[in-house]
Amino acid sequence: MNGFRRREVARRAFAYEINRSTYRFPREDEKSPAYVLTPLGVRVNRVFIVGALLDKEEIKPDSGIWRIRVSDPTSAIYGYVSRFQPDALESLMEIDVPELVAIVGKVRTFEVGARIFVSLRPEYVSPVESGVRDYWVYETAKHTIERIKAMERKEDEDVKLAWQIYNPNLDEYRAIVKQALLTLKGTIAEGEEEEEEIQGFEEEFEFEEEEWDLSDILKE
């Protein structure tokens, strides 16, 4: 638009979908946002997530880089906060875990060996009330259902690409959405199989950060 960049919309997606996003779009130029493609065919850069902040720890003493783990009803996602995100760092320091938080942040990917991992780079972290979480789950479920429908239609270019790259099982995503919605009703969600898979994913995710250069995820 005449070289004028609009503010990026913050997409709504459950951590389950974001964690499985491994495809990075090549950047158009230095300043253009780095998008990843989710398995349900949406380009994501900025996201808005509401969930429980479960952990925060400095990856090395006095490094000023904090690793956080946030979980929504579907899955947990990791994030990194450093002095490059002063607003997020400031509020993070005042929060005692566990705490319900809203996070606006960018999705970043990094490679470990052959695997690509996803993390969040928060712009801010703000403690919120449970009503905000409830609305977020509802809204995110609504958006995810729309994406599932778009995947069924197979019209959009990004959707076609998502089929090609991920070939997702849409029923799996329907189950995830349902599980999330049921938590709102106070009903115990069935889905032990899912639970196992998430566990497995987290274990693999335990790693020593020092081995990689994190500057990519942390800087603009």
Name the token pair of 110: 């990094």
Using rule CB under 8 A, residue 97 touches another protein: no
Q: Are 108 and 21 in contact (CB under 8 A)?
A: no
Please select the residue that binds another protein; options are 43, 116, 143, 163, rule is CB under 8 A. Answer: 143
Residues 44-63 that bind another protein (CB under 8 A): 48, 50
Nearest to 109 by CA among 21, 32, 11: 21
Count of helix runs (H) and strand runs (E) in the chain: 7, 8
Using rule CB under 8 A, residue 147 touches another protein: no
Using rule CB under 8 A, residue 178 touches another protein: yes
Of 16-24, 67-75, 77-85, 138-146, the window that binds another protein (rule: CB under 8 A) is: 138-146
Please select the residue that binds another protein; options are 181, 189, 217, 218, rule is CB under 8 A. Answer: 181
Q: Give me the least distance between CB of 174 and another protein, in Å please.
A: 5
Name the token pair of 102: 């809203």
* Close Cβ partners of 82 (under 8 Å, ≥ 6 residues apart): 64, 65, 66, 89, 218
Using rule CB under 8 A, residue 131 touches another protein: yes
Nearest to 15 by CA among 138, 176, 168, 142: 176
H or E element: which one contains 207? Answer: none
Using rule CB under 8 A, residue 135 touches another protein: yes
Q: Which residues bind another protein (CB under 8 A)?
A: 1-2, 4, 6-12, 48, 50, 101-104, 123-124, 126, 128-132, 134-139, 141-143, 145, 174, 177-178, 181-182, 184-185
